[in-house]
Amino acid sequence: MLLVAGCGGKESTVTQEGTPVTLPSGLVYVDLKVGSGDPIRPGQIAVVHYTGWLDDGGKPGRQFDSSYSRNRPFDFRLGAGQVIQGWDEGVAGMRVGGKRRLTIPPQLGYGERGAGNVIPPNATLIFDVELLEIR
């Protein structure tokens, strides 16, 4: 699945594992595992594995996509608008080896339009993202 949307460019801060952080945009993230090294910055390429679900009352519901099932990581330029805004905001500040759960409100995802027959309009999305490499 191709993730498209606007540019985020906001950097998040590294937190303790398991501590939810709510950004002003409404995005919530939890570092499941904090990686090591320098954090990714806008303009750099993120190489990630991910799984995406529809939100089901604050927990993952129906899975709609996973790079793991294809055994093929996904890469994108952070902050360049190549992915949904929730990814640009939520991946910012991650470190290689880190795993982060993103809860993305509709306005930072696919909004009122949804995405085909896969993501309904106004859906809150949950992604687990693992940062494999920064280029």
- Active-site residues, by number, are 50, 64-65, 84, 110, 127
Q: Annotate 8-59 with three-state secondary structure.
A: CCCCCCCCCCCCEEECCCCCEEEEEECCECCCCCCCCEEEEEEEEEEECCCC
Structural contact between residues 83 and 74, judged by C-beta atoms closer than 8 angstroms: no
